[in-house]
A and B are shown apart, each in its own frame.
Chain A
Amino acid sequence: MSEPKVIIRGLRKEFVTAKREVVALDGIDLELAENEFVCLVGTSGCGKSTLLSIVAGLQEATAGEVLVDGVPVDGPGRDRGVVFQAYTLFPWLTARENVEFALRDEHLSRRERRERAAEQLALVGLSGFMEAYPNQLSGGMKQRVAIARALSYRPTVLLMDEPFGALDALTRKMMQELLTRVWEAHRLTVLFVTHDVEEAVFLSDRVVVMTNRPGVVKDEVAIELPRPRKYELVASDAFAEPKLRVLESIREESLKAVAV
């Protein structure tokens, strides 16, 4: 295959707190192929969000490097879109304006911006809520707008940090399907952080399991389930097998954490 889209090499991250030094990541090596959907799973506090944040350029690594298209990352950039766990829509802007906000630097005319925003919101099924303010939208809708915003400026990598973590179980399932649908229609490289194993297996091409502090890559499970994927998939035998593998891998980590 061709060059990997994203290369993470020997990544290390230390935090210095008032009392001690914490090694959050200890030598992470990971590659993401072009248009690959990779989920990063691990128990809470394993440093998976930190890893994502470093790839986004929002935090600096203590050692090691991240390359996107062969170029080292030295800060945030429009080649990478980010969807956060918390709701990050600007409450003073409507859904449409929130998307347009991301398009200011695109050298588009006002009309083109408007059209692009409308198109992105249609993609996540929110054509009817273009002029709604965030406080008029449900949690799931807010995250859909956030996805539309992150995709609107055509990044080639999408970074998602537990974007459905705050949603209830039913909405969560809907969002997973929606994301799968969007991604299957408009491929790009995705790095998705979650602690929900079922979510990880359902969404991704490959699940990467991380160990507890210090975080390192413990296991990788290729998910060779057919696409397009529909929600019934989670009830199938084919789904159960990789899910079990990931679960067992994480369980070991959880047990270790409890034993300490």
Chain B
Amino acid sequence: MRPAESAGAAHVSERELDTVNATTAAGLRPSPAPAAPGLRRPRRRRPRMLRLRGKMSVPQFLAVAGLVFAGLLIVWQVVTASGMVDPLFLPSPTAVWDRLSQLSGEGTLWDDIGISTYRILVGFLIATAIAVPLGVLMGVYRIWEAALEPVVDFIRYMPVVAFVPLSIIWVGTDDTQKFLIIFIGTFFQQVLMIMDNTKRIPQDFIDVGRTLGMPDRRILRRIVVPSAAPGIWDSMRITLGWAWTYLTLAELVAATSGLGYRITVGQRFFQTDLIIGYIIVLGVLGLITDQLMKLVGRRLFGWAEAR
């Protein structure tokens, strides 16, 4: 029902479609075939997934993705088993797995994951709690934008890495410093992204509120924020991914616990299996949080998706 009604240009596009069909049909059809009918073999159609913009089922998609992962693992295993590379530089997948199992059994791995997750959560939540209201205000009030956008944009281009020594001098090496680095790494990006999310809501939505006689503050709370919420959530999801990078950075430089810290320990003792294992763990944790955010987002903002 919808496609027919939604587009004002429905007739135009339909007509265009007809012409396109006519031309392609004319182009494909062999002009009065000179070849004997028996000689022309009917062309087999290519499988759907190999066509431009072709569709693919979910299991097929997962199968292909899984195969690539398995392929990478096999290449890794073969390379290490063949003795081409010194295991000191590249340990085998099984060695990495053994190391991770050992650390998991001892509880070290879980302690590291626990403390790192805690740091990420606190740092990210502080950044978000400030970025959301500021970003929304910057998205609807020009004066807030004028006051903050240039400053934020300026700071955004400063390399976070360069703040690490400064952060240690400022607050020492305890968790506060991790929060600070995660904050610097995510907050300034978040603010701008959330401002954009807010700017993107249709002016008509705000106008509806005004024609209903709603005061600005209520329009902000009841129309602007809910409209921008799915976009804001998405920005949070993306910046949360970056937060893992900054956390690791902070822990690599100055920490006595956490995933990043353990990697520096691994470096000290040439435990490349540990380092690679932990890098993979970090990747998996990032993937899990991303999927979780997606899942929750879909729950919260199901209305925003086309059905």
Indicate whether A and B interact. Answer: yes
Residues of A within 8 A of B (CB): 56-58, 75-78, 80-82, 84, 86, 88, 90-92, 101-102, 105, 133-136, 138-140, 153, 165-169, 171
Question: Which single member of A78, A88, A92, A165 contacts B226 (CB below 8 Å)?
Answer: A92
B212 near A153: Cβ-Cβ < 8 Å: yes
Given the known A-B contacts A84-B207, A139-B5, A168-B11, are A102 and B307 also in contact in the complex, defined by CB atoms under 8 Å?
no
Q: How far is the CA of A82 from the CA of B211 in the complex (A)?
A: 7
B208 near A168: Cβ-Cβ < 8 Å: no
Cβ contacts under 8 Å, B307 to chain A:
135-136
Q: How far is the CA of A77 from the CA of B209 in the complex (A)?
A: 10
A78 near B213: Cβ-Cβ < 8 Å: yes
Residues of B within 8 A of A (CB): 1-2, 4-8, 10-11, 202, 204-205, 207-208, 210-214, 222-223, 226-227, 229, 301, 303-307
Given the known A-B contacts A165-B8, A167-B8, are A56 and B211 also in contact in the complex, defined by CB atoms under 8 Å?
yes
* Additional 17 contacts, C-beta under 8 A, given A92-B304, A135-B304, A138-B6: A56-B207, A57-B210, A76-B207, A76-B211, A76-B213, A77-B213, A80-B211, A81-B211, A90-B226, A92-B227, A92-B301, A135-B305, A135-B307, A136-B307, A140-B5, A168-B7, A168-B8
Interface majority SS on A: helix, strand, loop or mixed?
Answer: loop
Question: Which single member of A84, A140, A166 contacts B208 (CB below 8 Å)?
Answer: A84
Q: How far is the CA of A61 from the CA of B86 in the complex (A)?
A: 79
Given the known A-B contacts A88-B204, A90-B223, are A58 and B4 also in contact in the complex, defined by CB atoms under 8 Å?
no
Given the known A-B contacts A80-B211, A135-B307, A169-B11, are A88 and B4 also in contact in the complex, defined by CB atoms under 8 Å?
no
Question: Which single member of B5, B202, B226 contacts A168 (CB below 8 Å)?
Answer: B5
Q: How far is the CA of A168 from the CA of B7 in the complex (A)?
A: 7
Cβ contacts under 8 Å, A58 to chain B:
207, 210-211
B211 near A91: Cβ-Cβ < 8 Å: no
Can you give 30 A-B contacts (C-beta < 8 A)? A56-B211, A57-B211, A58-B207, A58-B211, A76-B207, A77-B211, A78-B212, A78-B213, A84-B204, A86-B204, A92-B229, A101-B212, A101-B222, A134-B303, A135-B303, A135-B304, A135-B307, A138-B1, A138-B2, A138-B4, A139-B5, A139-B6, A140-B5, A165-B8, A167-B8, A168-B4, A168-B7, A168-B8, A169-B11, A171-B5
**Closest chain A residue, CB of each to CB of B222:** A101
**Closest chain A residue, CB of each to CB of B227:** A90
B5 near A91: Cβ-Cβ < 8 Å: no
Q: How far is the CA of A143 from the CA of B229 in the complex (A)?
A: 24
Cβ contacts under 8 Å, B10 to chain A:
168
Interface majority SS on B: helix, strand, loop or mixed?
Answer: helix
Q: How far is the CA of A23 from the CA of B213 in the complex (A)?
A: 29
Cβ contacts under 8 Å, A90 to chain B:
205, 208, 223, 226-227
Q: How far is the CA of A197 from the CA of B226 in the complex (A)?
A: 38
Q: How far is the CA of A81 from the CA of B211 in the complex (A)?
A: 7
Q: How far is the CA of A148 from the CA of B213 in the complex (A)?
A: 17
Cβ contacts under 8 Å, B213 to chain A:
76-78, 105
B207 near A82: Cβ-Cβ < 8 Å: yes
Given the known A-B contacts A86-B202, A102-B212, are A167 and B303 also in contact in the complex, defined by CB atoms under 8 Å?
no
**Closest chain B residue, CB of each to CB of A152:** B212
Min CB gap B24→A, angstroms: 25
Cβ contacts under 8 Å, A88 to chain B:
202, 204-205, 207-208
Q: How far is the CA of A153 from the CA of B306 in the complex (A)?
A: 30
A91 near B207: Cβ-Cβ < 8 Å: no
A139 near B2: Cβ-Cβ < 8 Å: yes
Min CB gap B187→A, angstroms: 27
Min CB gap B36→A, angstroms: 48
Cβ contacts under 8 Å, A171 to chain B:
4-5
Given the known A-B contacts A90-B223, A91-B304, A139-B2, are A166 and B8 also in contact in the complex, defined by CB atoms under 8 Å?
yes
Q: How far is the CA of A80 from the CA of B212 in the complex (A)?
A: 9
**Closest chain B residue, CB of each to CB of A136:** B307
A-B pairs, top 5 by smallest CB distance, nearest first, are A139-B5, A82-B211, A76-B210, A76-B211, A78-B213
Cβ contacts under 8 Å, B304 to chain A:
91-92, 135
Min CB gap A3→B, angstroms: 24
